[in-house]
Chains A and B, each alone.
Chain A
Amino acid sequence: LTEVAGAKLRAGYSANAEVIIARRDSVLYIPERLVTHRNDSSFVTVRTDAGKPEERLIKTGLSDAINIEVLEGLKEGESLVEPPPREIT
């Protein structure tokens, strides 16, 4: 618990606490919005050296819903392709 100087908790107050269940430091992670899920597998679209987009299977680890840890399938420095949002026609 962090000490908050001067603040007092009185009856009827409410407080929010964050409980850290798991944490990772210095791991490879990407924005989770770039991950496609299909039948329990995760995929990302990688821009290859030739400039062509290529779909790749990855293994994911911990996620906070915004960023997701990548365990296998990607190397640091590779660039991912984010498709533009779909248009309604």
Chain B
Amino acid sequence: VWREFVADLRAQKLRTSLTVLGIAWGTVAVVVLLAFGVGLERQTRKRFHGLGDRIVILFGGRTTKPFEGFPDGRPIRLLPDDVPTIAQEVTEIQYISPEFITRSARVRRGVKAASPAITGIVPAYGVMRNIIAQAGGRFINDRDVAERRRVAVLGDELATLLFGHDSAVGRQIFLGDTPFTIVGVMRPKLQNSSYQQRDKDRIFIPATTHYALFGNRFLNNIVYRAKSAELTKVAERHVYETLGRKDKFDPTDKDALGFWDTSEWETRFGQMFVAFNAFFAIVGSFTLLVGGIGVANIMYIVVRERTREIGIRRAVGASRTDILRQFLAEALMIVLMGATLGFLLSVGLVAALGGLPIREFVGAPTISPSVLVATLALLAMVAFAAGLMPARRAAALDPVDALRS
């Protein structure tokens, strides 16, 4: 078959190479579009995780239902004590942290000053909100909280503002009139949503220190993560019940508390990306389909050209299956060549696209295993469909008629 194919290729150089190119082009379209889709999805996920990975941000609210003699319209605010209460009662929660925020003090180093959101938190906050210290530093730890130490972690842009390109770890700054030691600087990260302020401009200190220094009576919010994604909704209901019991509001009163469930957003975006990638795959496969029609055309011509040969082969004993297999194999060969060429081109193209300065928003196109599998499946379908019809025509020829032509 191979020799025949090569002979055919020689005889009809232009025709065959154009067909191969058609398949190659289709393959490039499918691979690059899907790779782009995968890259975009990963990057978007990463940007989401800049705010936090599967976290719930809990705010106070205002009641809308009268309850046990209390009127509606009562504000419900979160207190520092609510955190241990929730942690104890809502067993579905894995991590939880209070979040105090104040803007009442300036952050100074020499003549450089800023008024960031000064945030009081516990170590679990860094895990949940993906605030990761750069090499050589650390996040707030348990001892900082226990001893109310005057230590701070800076957002990367705030650190640059105060320290330029010098290392900030171990240095002192002033929060209002109180000296603090910098123990870490946040690694730069992508963050596509926030409350109050982006993390890169914030300063993080132990919750206990914050309380002692600024004396905020209420928390700005609480951040928690459920043990698993499935438990998030259950945890939310239990938080309503726990705080409802304590603050005397109806646990079905949704407006009494505000929940920002980031995983919900992520799920929605995940669904959007499934549709997105399906669209990309369909667009790509149309191009591939056109290539496939080219292959089928060529094969019909080949069959017509070689009708006499088919007649002779049948006359000397070749079965219908033999003929079918011969032409199917030739079609597959064309597709295989096109696909190989297409894949090589795609790898080059994807590498080139990855170097463009658009990475921050669309990510680097990635030829992931799922992209490979999807493309191979499409190619196999096209090759089979394009090869089978002409091959069946060839196999169905009546040997007598074929010889006579």
- Report A's interface with B, CB cutoff 8 A: 16, 32-33, 35, 37, 40, 63-66, 84-86, 88-89
Contacts and interface: CB of A to CB of B under 8 A. Distances in A.
A65 B181 contact: yes
A86 B170 CA distance: 22
B133 A85 contact: yes
A33 B130 CA distance: 17
18 contacts: A33-B133, A33-B137, A33-B184, A65-B144, A65-B151, A65-B181, A65-B183, A66-B169, A66-B170, A66-B181, A66-B183, A85-B132, A85-B133, A85-B134, A88-B50, A88-B132, A88-B190, A89-B42
B46 A89 contact: yes
A33 B169 CA distance: 11
A1 to B, nearest CB: 19
Given A85-B132, A88-B132, 15 more contacts: A16-B179, A32-B138, A32-B143, A32-B183, A33-B133, A33-B136, A33-B138, A37-B123, A37-B142, A66-B183, A88-B46, A88-B49, A88-B50, A88-B190, A89-B49
A82 to B, nearest CB: 8
A32 B142 CA distance: 12
A37 B127 CA distance: 14
A40 B143 CA distance: 9
A37 B132 contact: no
Contacts of B358: none
Contacts of A84: 135
Chain B interface residue number, banded:
20 to 34
Contacts of B143: 32, 37, 63
Nearest to A82: B135
Contacts of A35: 141
Contacts of A85: 132-135, 187
B46 A65 contact: no
- By Cβ-Cβ distance, the 4 closest A-B pairs, closest first, are A33-B138, A37-B142, A65-B151, A66-B170
B307 to A, nearest CB: 59
Contact of A86 (B132, B137, B190): B132
B189 interface: yes
A66 to B, nearest CB: 5
